[in-house]
């Protein structure tokens, strides 16, 4: 199959909407990462997502809506907390897990009785959904690879497997949405993201974060390691261990690169490095693009520890997964 990249416009959105209605897949931009969409009500179309990505069948998909007001089309027994969250964070990078509506095929929810719902902020995503159907959509990468934040990244992974990639420019947020489970006794963050615990606590009385360290998976998706670059990746606890790891790799004949926020050139010296920026939002926006660029050129990636709190903590959560908890 030939895959075309098309600049998002009213005309290309109409073309993409037709593909969706015919049961085909379309990759589309959101503010977090690019998504691979299919009509959420069409089981056969949804099956194509798993096939194209090589995604395990037991990992459920998020249903994307153009407005939170459509939530009743895909979920039931919706708690007030959802509407309170929707008012503040939708559209935006927050996914909420609710009780599954009867219209949603089990293929979307991996057989489960809950459904994850999100309203993307990117205008083109909402236009596509509004002119077609609610979209079941995972990140538009091959399973286990890093999520794409440009149309080109998406094309690199899915070329030949899908008919169309809508190009809406680089993603502003750069990491996937926060996943919040409202079906748990206490609202539970299953995947940290741009919307942090502190932000949620402005709307909810209590929020807990599910620790990825617990062995039993609450969200089927939590069993899987995501986001791994194609080359050996480590997280450095300190600047010193980062430099030491770099120098060790070089002494072994490897070609490493360090990814860090900012640093004095005197610290990094002649070592290969990528600066993501000082602002947490720049770190989040640039992290995946930096990793995807690095894996093409280098054979070891060493990533700085950005910390545990807020948005930087969310970025770190992803990076740790990608590094498979290899720490130096
Ligand atoms: O920002 C995002 O969320 C992007 C864009 C495209 O919207 N999508 C995304 O989808 O990251 P995906 O499939 O790569 O990750 C969805 C995560 C998985 O970890 C999955 O297990 C979890 O959400 N998930 C989906 N449905 C769930 C459910 N019903 N209960 C618990 N976790 C669920
Ligand atoms: Mg993903």
pLDDT tens digits, one per residue of 284-298:
999 999 999 999 999
> Same structural domain for residues 204 and 257?
no
- Domain residues for 271? 232-323
> Same structural domain for residues 99 and 137?
yes
Q: Is the pLDDT of residue 224 over 70?
A: no
What's the chain's Rg over C-alpha atoms? 20
Q: Residue 136 maps to which CATH number?
A: 3.90.870.10
d(C-alpha 40, C-alpha 242), whole Å: 44
Q: Is the pLDDT of residue 222 over 90?
A: no
Ligand 2 centroid distance, CA of 223 (Å) = 12
Q: Is residue 216 part of a domain?
A: no
Q: Which residue has the higher pLDDT, 154 or 324?
A: 154
> Same structural domain for residues 106 and 190?
yes
> Same structural domain for residues 101 and 247?
no
Q: Is the pLDDT of residue 320 over 90?
A: no
Query: What integer best gives the mean pLDDT of the chain?
Result: 93
Q: pLDDT grade, residue 229 (50/70/90)?
A: confident
Instruction: State the ligand closest to the CA atom of 191.
Output: 1
> Same structural domain for residues 68 and 198?
yes
* Minimal-distance CA residue to ligand 1 atom 12: 138
> Same structural domain for residues 108 and 237?
no
Q: What is the DSSP string of 206-271?
A: --EE--TTSSS-SSGGGGS-----SSEEEEESSHHHHHHHHHHHHHTT--EEEEES---HHHHTTS
Q: pLDDT grade, residue 73 (50/70/90)?
A: very high
Residue 327: predicted pLDDT: 76
Ligand 2 centroid distance, CA of 263 (Å) = 30
Q: Is residue 50 part of a domain?
A: yes
Identify residues whose C-beta is under 5 A from ligand 2, the ion.
139
d(C-alpha 166, C-alpha 174), whole Å: 17
Residue 324: predicted pLDDT: 62
Q: What is the mean pLDDT of residues 188-210?
A: 95
What is the count of structural domains for the chain?
Answer: 2
pLDDT tens digits, one per residue of 101-118:
999 999 999 999 999 999
> Same structural domain for residues 152 and 246?
no
Q: Which residues line ligand 1 (CB under 6 A)?
A: 30, 32-33, 35, 59-62, 95, 97, 109, 112, 114-116, 118, 120, 137-139, 176-177, 179, 190-191, 219-221
Q: Is residue 226 part of a domain?
A: no
> Same structural domain for residues 245 and 176?
no
> Same structural domain for residues 36 and 79?
yes
Q: What's the pTM?
A: 0.93
> Same structural domain for residues 253 and 165?
no
**Residue of 28, 38, 57, 60 with the most ligand 1 atoms within 8 Å of its CB, for mutation:** 60
């Amino acid at each position: 199959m030939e895959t075309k990249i098309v600049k998002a416009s009213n005309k290309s959105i109409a073309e993409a909407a037709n593909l969706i209605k015919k049961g085909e897949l379309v990759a589309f931009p959101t503010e977090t990462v690019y998504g691979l969409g299919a009509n959420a009500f069409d089981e056969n179309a949804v099956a194509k997502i798993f096939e194209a990505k090589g995604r395990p069948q037991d990992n459920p998909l998020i249903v994307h809506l153009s407005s939170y007001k459509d939530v009743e089309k895909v979920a039931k027994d919706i708690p007030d907390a959802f509407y309170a969250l929707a008012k503040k964070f939708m559209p935006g990078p927050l996914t909420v897990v609710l009780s599954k509506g009867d219209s949603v095929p089990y293929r979307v929810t991996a057989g489960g009785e809950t459904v994850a719902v999100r309203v993307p902020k990117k205008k083109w995503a909402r236009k596509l959904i509004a002119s077609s159907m609610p979209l079941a959509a995972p990140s538009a990468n091959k399973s286990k690879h890093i999520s794409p934040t440009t149309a080109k990244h998406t094309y690199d992974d899915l070329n030949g497997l899908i008919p169309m990639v809508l190009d809406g420019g680089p993603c502003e947020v750069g990491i996937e949405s926060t996943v919040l489970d409202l079906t748990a006794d206490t609202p539970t963050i299953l995947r940290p993201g741009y919307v942090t615990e502190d932000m949620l606590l402005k709307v909810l009385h209590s929020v807990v974060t599910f620790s990825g360290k617990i062995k039993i998976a609450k969200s089927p998706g939590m069993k899987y390691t995501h986001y791994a670059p194609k080359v050996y990746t480590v997280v450095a606890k300190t600047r010193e261990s980062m430099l030491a790891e770099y120098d060790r790799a070089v002494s072994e004949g490897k070609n490493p690169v360090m990814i860090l926020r900012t640093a004095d050139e005197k610290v990094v010296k002649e070592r290969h490095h990528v600066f993501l920026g000082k602002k947490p939002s720049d770190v989040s926006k640039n992290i995946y693009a930096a990793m995807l660029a690095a894996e093409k050129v280098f054979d070891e990636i060493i990533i700085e520890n950005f910390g545990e709190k807020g948005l930087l903590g969310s970025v770190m959560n992803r990076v740790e997964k990608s590094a498979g908890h290899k720490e130096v």
